[in-house]
Structure 1
């Protein structure tokens, strides 16, 4: 029988009623006299709690008269070894306990450091936001005061810069999260209905050309069946795609640099930029950006939009700037569920949670001129001067690299077909499920260039579910209606 303390065969084995372990009687009695506990279970233990193991021959070793004999010396050495075994066992237990306490201390220290760093970051962000707000309010008041002092008071209809910031990110966080959950459920249901057309063969058919309502186009946007066309002279024409005779015109001075459409109070409203100013709808008041505006992107369903430039980016609504940041960007795109926004810079693409303005991911891709999230929700399409990349934001890996100089592109509802356009051609690229990659060579090549292209699946979604045909609209020197025709 092996002693649980010394690891050697016990000469007089006893068993503990507390832990059920076997010990050498002499060793356990010494341990009890020193500690009063069971060395295994740490419960209180007395000598009366020890039970002799029956069936072991009882004999009394001869008592050596002195240390002069070799047997007596060996016995002394044995006693010293037993004492050493007790001490080593005690040290092992103390070491294990010390390791546990050290691990807990390190965990609490690391948690404290993280909390302190987060608090410091929030304090610095609050101080920076307060400073920017104070400067913006001061600049707005000074400008109006100078104009009045110089004999140029603002009159009814003049463009008055809006510098109010009475909405905070915390005020819209819950609304964004509720809308994200609703859109996620909606897109999940749509994926099931559109899956039937995944991997189908398509051809490109051009059907009808409609002249532009003016001579020269500056920029264009599309949303919910409405096409916003901005001329270089400053006017903006809203065209109903289903009935092109139904148009609305907004006249404004200055050449629009960018335009998008937002959903405000159930209506589709244009948001246009001219240099560093942002105009919503037909309002004469403007929101002011810190520098020249390069790109603009709108939320899928709510009246929020993001504006980016080389001096920073901002999140705004129809009459107020909600958040400003000095990080420069050149492109932007909202996720299909509306809570994340992709911001492209000269060195990378940052994924930002607009409910907190915190960067949640960064993808290495420089100078993205256009960004677009695929309907599947996890692919991000990024266009540069040399190529069109399809990036999986879950793994930040490239799943497709289509080389070429393109003007614009779109992706179909199944996320398996890309239409890319150049100055003189239109190309159709297809995703191969068997090879798990996008084809580098176009499946269809059409000798007709398009400057901007939009898929109209939101307008004719029921027709699409029945036929699989996908209507689209292209903008160049005129408005061109076409269709991705599903091959039988």
Structure 2
């Protein structure tokens, strides 16, 4: 038996809601949802209202005229509907944000993986090329003692074979690299927080001029500043090195050991020790505490660049004999060495994490090497002359280079390509030196004057020009509170805040 009725008049005796399939119990006359009462009968065999015996065959199906399900109680008003829509919108927005975050993370991981893959491919290609060249050389090797060596520009090419780094030194370098890489972001952030801003740099004036560090008329070609307290500067001119104490206003050390012109000086990061490179093919280590010092004889031609490893125990040198060397500071021993067959090396610098370094060549190239395996991992080109200036940014992302002309090229080590070319306004401008400040925020370029550029945007920030001749080198003081320049006019100038009391000359 079945009946037709309005379903909205029914309420299930079990759920208390309007049933979708209403049925009537003949023993109690109550209405139930069919699926609920069927389950009840299977488990108990009785009517839930009066506990009388009941079978599913006894249920009477009610056929409603039409089924119109009522709205949920919380959607029966306009405010409730708006709230439901708002909740759904919020849920969609949160989900979209989550998806975007995951996409960005995936892109970064993919970019890193592609960079590693590309670097690995370059290493493999380099190794294969070297292997093939070695095999060909071995296959065609013949006695050649009677042959006269061919000279190139009267520079002896160094062909000395030196083994790769020992496992102990490699382990130290990798451990230091891991520490520096992990703390690099925090260190750079702290340095930027203390950095002097652009407005302050605009107000810098000459606070001190040093005229008697070297003999009158002798050009000062290089300089550096102590990293311990920023109170001492070291300069190189002709064949001597001078250390000047700013606070004491006096020369505290003078070293005359080179037999050729000094080309580069570096102050140790945490000791009163200075290093000098010379055209006499040597690198010398001088201690302000006295002593004979150490002479590193790693090359057969002029040494063009030196850079101290972040560990402070090793130093990199580049030379016009086409080679670079990695030596122990204490003993002067050569730990490893490699020869660039294509060109002379004109400049060099270490990556701030100490795993890689760069060299500039006489043919306009910039080459990035892995110090552990003596493998070239990234070559850059594009300069029209010898790359005489090279500098890595403190965050390790960029390397800047110049080739004795009026152009600076910025290379991105993550993308392995040139991202910016800075061309000076003057056609006859020659960039003699490039350096990033310790925070990596400013890039300095020295030539006819000293110009500072903002990293990332590479826009010129300010300019200093008070020398009578070209600036050959410069230094950043702590937090850029002081700047120093040396020049072919035989003077050193120190710049600082115009509001500060000027230092005596």
Name 2:410's counterpart in structure 1: 390
Distance 1:485 1:300 in 2: 34
1:304-315 equivalences under 5 Å are 304-311=314-321, 312-315=323-326
What is the CA-CA distance between 1:471 and the residue it aligns to? 1.4
What is the CA-CA distance between 1:266 and the residue it aligns to? 4.3
Q: Partner of 1:438: helix, strand, or coil? A: coil
CA 1:326–1:478 in structure 2 vs 1: closer, same or farther (change >3 Å)? same
User: Relative contact order (C-alpha < 8 Å, sep 6+): which is higher?
Assistant: 2
In the TM superposition, what whole-angstrom CA distance separates every residue of 1:67-91 from its partner, at most 9, and x where no partner exists?
A: xxxxxxxxxxxxxxxxxxxxxxxxx
CA 1:380–1:485 in structure 2 vs 1: closer, same or farther (change >3 Å)? farther
Kept in 1: contact 2:222–2:472 (CA 8 A)? no
Distance 1:176 1:277 in 2: 24
Name 1:451's counterpart in structure 2: 472
Name 1:271's counterpart in structure 2: 276
CA 1:379–1:214 in structure 2 vs 1: closer, same or farther (change >3 Å)? same
TM-score scaled by length of structure 2: 0.55
In the TM superposition, what whole-angstrom CA distance separates every residue of 1:117-138 from its partner, at most 9, and x where no partner exists?
A: 779849959x99xx9xxx9xxx
Kept in 2: contact 1:230–1:237 (CA 8 A)? yes
Distance 2:196 2:210 in 1: 31
Gaps of 5+ in 1: 1-113, 136-162, 458-463
What is the CA-CA distance between 1:238 and the residue it aligns to? 2.0
Kept in 1: contact 2:262–2:277 (CA 8 A)? yes
Distance 2:171 2:257 in 1: 36
Kept in 2: contact 1:198–1:414 (CA 8 A)? no
Gaps of 5+ in 2: 1-123, 146-159, 287-291, 500-505
CA 1:167–1:377 in structure 2 vs 1: closer, same or farther (change >3 Å)? closer
Name 1:437's counterpart in structure 2: 457
What is the CA-CA distance between 1:308 and the residue it aligns to? 1.8
What is the CA-CA distance between 1:239 and the residue it aligns to? 2.4
CA 1:219–1:421 in structure 2 vs 1: closer, same or farther (change >3 Å)? closer
Kept in 2: contact 1:410–1:420 (CA 8 A)? yes
Q: Partner of 2:179: helix, strand, or coil? A: helix
Name 2:236's counterpart in structure 1: 230
Q: Partner of 1:183: helix, strand, or coil? A: helix
Name 1:350's counterpart in structure 2: 367
In the TM superposition, what whole-angstrom CA distance separates every residue of 1:256-276 from its partner, at most 9, and x where no partner exists?
A: 332333649944232332332
What is the CA-CA distance between 1:186 and the residue it aligns to? 4.1
CA 1:413–1:290 in structure 2 vs 1: closer, same or farther (change >3 Å)? closer
Name 1:370's counterpart in structure 2: 389
CA 1:211–1:347 in structure 2 vs 1: closer, same or farther (change >3 Å)? closer
Answering whether residue 310 of structure 2 is matched by residue 300 of structure 1, we say yes
Aligned length: 322
Name 1:473's counterpart in structure 2: 484
What is the CA-CA distance between 1:314 and the residue it aligns to? 1.7
Name 1:428's counterpart in structure 2: 452
1:56-455 equivalences under 5 Å are 121=131, 168-196=165-193, 200-201=198-199, 202-203=201-202, 204-215=204-215, 216-222=218-224, 223-224=226-227, 225=230, 226-232=232-238, 234-245=239-250, 247-261=252-266, 263=268, 266-281=271-286, 282-283=292-293, 285-311=295-321, 312-318=323-329, 319-327=332-340, 328-345=344-361, 346-366=363-383, 367-384=386-403, 385-404=405-424, 405=429, 406-423=431-448, 425-431=449-455, 437-439=457-459, 442-449=460-467, 450-455=471-476
Q: Partner of 1:177: helix, strand, or coil? A: helix
Distance 1:402 1:257 in 2: 29
Kept in 1: contact 2:358–2:369 (CA 8 A)? yes
Distance 2:241 2:272 in 1: 16
Name 2:37's counterpart in structure 1: none
Q: Partner of 1:451: helix, strand, or coil? A: strand
